[in-house]
Amino acid sequence: MPPRITPLVAGLPATVPFVGPETQERQRGTRFRARIGANENGFGPSPKAVAAMAEAAGEVWKYCDPENWDLKQALARHLGVGPENVVVGEGIDGLLGLTVRLVVEPGLPVVTSLGAYPTFNFHVAGFGGRLVTVPFADDREDPEALAAAARAEDARLVYFSNPNNPMASWWPGETVVGLMDAVPDDAILCVDEAYGEFAPDGTLPPIDVSRPNVLRFRTFSKAYGMAGARIAYAVGAAPLIREFDKIRNHFGVNRIAQAGALAALGDTAHLAWIRERIVEARARIVGIAEANGLKPLPSATNFVTVDCGRDGAFARRLLVALAQRGVFVRMPGVAPQDRCIRIGCGPAADLDVLEAELPAALAVARREA
């Protein structure tokens, strides 16, 4: 007799929201020459963070601090809030999963954008929530439509990313505040700010922990170059943040990641250097795309979304052709955004490979049309 899995889980497909480059490398039997598809920071973490993690590795026989005390104190100072307003978790993915668990029961509505971050949808499905999606408008998430859907559906949870993945688009802070005002008071608004450090000034509204139903998510995976460490944090009203202590994995963030994040947060000079490299890389990707007859979209992130000028089938052929030439990129999964591919801001050597291989890949995609 097989184990008795819950009917909810038994009815779900086995799903991986993102197929990793390692999986593709195993399938291909060779490594990618340019890894510029996962929105990682190929320029790397702060040397101070690397040194702190190396030192912490010598004490990895110890459990981590389950309260993430030192990091929470530093984050509170950095954000101008209290430690009670901060929760640390295993990347934004882990924190989103906990947020879904806080409020979602089978059949309850959750609002997001069609084509927005698929890992959020993965968590909603895992707890039996009913996804209600609204389309992008002009390649940006539509705050007014999200708020209207939340009110119409009596949603428990609303997801909004700013800047946005996968389109690299953004809204000014005042628009985000308008969304906060428009969402029902008894619904949690998740504002995913993973790419906030790359955005223009004014994109991120001031943090207001007096709002009882808003969670702001930020990470060490992007600007701080620590995607493999899996560490991020959420900021919100203290009563809402306290709810995470009821369900979080208290030993989930390892001590090496805690040490690295603490050191990275203090190295403002490295963060400024990273921002400069990203600006340079974005400009180069724009030039490469335009030289090949493609249309790069404005970006407030560490990647550039490139309009291939046709449909999703063409963009997928281009994606495959690039992979065959050792270039790992990704693309949005839903039309009409899937007419695009998404290219990460990597070091010059990676972009050299892209520049060399893109013309031939485009020729193959066009020939197979």
The mean per-residue pLDDT over the stretch 191-215 comes to 98
Evaluate if residue 369 carries a pLDDT over 80: no
The mean per-residue pLDDT over the stretch 62-79 comes to 98
Evaluate if residue 241 carries a pLDDT over 90: yes
Q: Judge whether 53 and 259 are in contact, CB under 8 Å.
A: yes
**Which one is predicted more confidently, 149 or 3?**
149
pLDDT at 67: 97
Q: Is 181 exposed, middle or buried (0-12, 13-18, 19+ CB in 10 A)?
A: exposed
The mean per-residue pLDDT over the stretch 84-90 comes to 98
pLDDT at 214: 98
The mean per-residue pLDDT over the stretch 348-358 comes to 98
- pLDDT tens digits for 5-55? 999 999 999 888 888 999 999 999 999 999 999 999 999 999 999 999 999
Among residues of the chain, what percentage have pLDDT more than 70? 100
**DSSP element (H, E) containing 27:** helix 21-28
Q: Where are the beta strands (DSSP E) in 172-285?
A: 188-192, 214-219, 232-235
DSSP string, 200-229: PTTSSPPP-TT-TTEEEEEESSSTT--GGG
How far does Cα 104 stand from its chain's mean position?
21
The mean per-residue pLDDT over the stretch 210-221 comes to 98
pLDDT at 16: 83
The mean per-residue pLDDT over the stretch 61-90 comes to 98
Mean pLDDT across the chain:
97
User: How far is the C-alpha of 363 from the C-alpha of 360, rounded, in Å?
Assistant: 5
Evaluate if residue 141 carries a pLDDT over 90: yes
- pLDDT tens digits for 144-185? 999 999 999 999 999 999 999 999 999 999 999 999 999 999
The mean per-residue pLDDT over the stretch 181-198 comes to 98
